[in-house]
A and B are shown apart, each in its own frame.
Chain A
Amino acid sequence: MNINLTLFGQMVTFAFFVWFCMKFVWPVIIEAMEERQKKIADGLDAADRALRDLELAQNKATDQMKEAKQEAAGIIDQANKRANQIVDEAKQQAVAEGDRLKAAAQADIEQEINRAKEELRASVAGLALAGAEKVLEASIDEKSNRALVDKLAAQL
């Protein structure tokens, strides 16, 4: 238990190890730890931010969906209206076309009637004469009665 040179030996050793720790150990580890701390804090921040962003995006998406739905509803309304319009127009056109066709048919019919009348007129004189001839059982002078019969026919 004597006090001797060991005392100074230990002091020197002590100084050396403290120097070593100060230079090569402490700053390196502390720096790494602080950096990691910062990194973790940044990471947590980023996670928070991402969460907020997600919420915002979700809100935005919901809004857009609502808008899209409204728009879609508007478009469907418009389409319905347009469809109705088209149907109406088609109906009107059909009616007009029908009317036109009816008119044309009527004109045809009238024409046909007129033609038939003309034909009838043409043949009625002969028929009348033939009838009369039968009735009288005698030959009638066709030339003298012709004018009379034509007059009759014109009255038809």
Chain B
Amino acid sequence: MAGENPASTTEYIQHHLTNLVYGNHPENGWSFAHGAQEAAEMGFMAIHVDSMAWSIGLGVLFCWMFRTAAKRATTGVPTGMLNFVELIVEFIDGAVKDSFHGRNKMVAPLALTIFVWIFLMNLMDLLPVDLVPELLMLAGVNYQKIVPSTDPNITLGMALGVFILMLYYSIKIKGTGFISELTMHPFNHWGFIPINLFMETVGLLAKPFSLGLRLFGNMYAGEMIFILIATMFAAGAGAGLIGGGLHAQIFGEHTSALFWLVIFILVCSVCGLNLKGKISTGKTVLLCMVFMALGGGLTALGGGLMQWGWAVFHILVITLQAFIFMVLTVVYLSMAHEDH
């Protein structure tokens, strides 16, 4: 399933958690890393190509989607895509107006970008964990993490961007008031300046870090659960016909992607027939389960159902995390704008 013949579940999981890294290796120079070891040796002078590519790609998707809608925005009756975009814009506008009380033209677009972009990045989590890495492996790309928000560089990068804005507006709006806030705040006495400074600085720094790490932690854990459920497919390989299904019987430990494509097409055609009204819904569900059980055995069937269940739950998580990141950004910026 993963990597170059993953002998164990551990390797499979590790492979899924390794980014595609391009960087300056002490021995090989600027090159793609072959494995986590080399990536670690590259140190800071490296870049996660997969995270960057997916995050930029999704950002471009966001820009394109909203720009197209903006071009079509008229004062007439909104239709289709414009309706959807306006729904989001109105939602963000309301959220920003609720929690941001300063005057700043930047905050609302910032919030919109954060919300939609992070939502799209989180949404990649709902793609089957093996789908894209497997396909890219066929194309010769060995490592691929398609969910940018499971990369701390990405989440902390955005949090740092927010942090810089916080500092900028704090200094711009409060001026010297910002310094007195840092030095004289909990204990208003010159003797306490070092203690105040220490406490306030920690408090200030905690904001971007909690912001970035919260998103990273949630998405990383969610991705991890998908991967762990996916290991059940591999576990089925050694479990015989009942446990492992046909794929274990025919292919042993090496399942061909083509085999799963056949199962996929069978399931799709059954669903299609159901939509056309040829077979009942109960029969459809039953047939799909039979195909899955035949193809992958009980472990695959159970795994599939669990993936599905977790994905449904995860829809809530990804939306919530995108929303939390956005709201906290707005709140932090609002605090930076409050002049005492």
Contact = CB atoms under 8 A, between A and B. Distances in A.
Given A2-B39, A29-B73, A24 B67 contact: yes
Interface in B51-76: 51-52, 55-56, 59, 62-63, 66-67, 69-71, 73-76
Q: Is the interface of B mostly helix, strand, loop or mixed?
A: helix
B7 interface: no
A3 B89 contact: no
Contact of B66 (A8, A16, A21): A21
Interface residues of B, number: 51
A144 interface: no
A17 B56 CA distance: 9
A18 B52 contact: no
Interface string A14-46: 111110111011101111110110010000000
A6 interface: yes
A101 to B, nearest CB: 90
Given A21-B109, A22-B109, A32 B74 contact: yes
Given A4-B153, A30-B89, A32-B75, A21 B47 contact: no
A28 B63 contact: no
B200 interface: no
A15 B48 CA distance: 18
Contacts, number: 133
Contacts of A20: 63, 67
Given A28-B73, A29-B70, A2 B160 contact: no
Contacts of B39: 2
Q: How large is the interface on A (under 10, 10 to 19, 20 to 34, 35 or more residues)?
A: 20 to 34
A10 B89 contact: no
A6 B153 contact: yes
Nearest to B117: A17
B157 A28 contact: no
Nearest to A23: B109
Contacts of B66: 21, 25, 29
Contact of A10 (B44, B78, B158): B158
Nearest to B220: A1
A34 B89 CA distance: 12
Given A21-B109, A36-B75, A4 B43 contact: yes
Given A4-B42, A6-B151, A29-B89, A14 B52 contact: no
Contacts of A28: 70-71, 73
B62 A17 contact: yes
A135 interface: no
Interface of A: 1-11, 13-18, 20-22, 24-26, 28-33, 35-36, 39
Interface of B: 17, 21, 23, 39-40, 42-48, 51-52, 55-56, 59, 62-63, 66-67, 69-71, 73-76, 78, 85-86, 89-90, 93, 105-106, 108-110, 112-113, 117, 151-154, 156-158, 160-161
> Top 10 closest A-B pairs, CB basis?
A10-B157, A32-B73, A6-B153, A26-B109, A28-B70, A22-B109, A21-B109, A6-B48, A25-B66, A4-B46
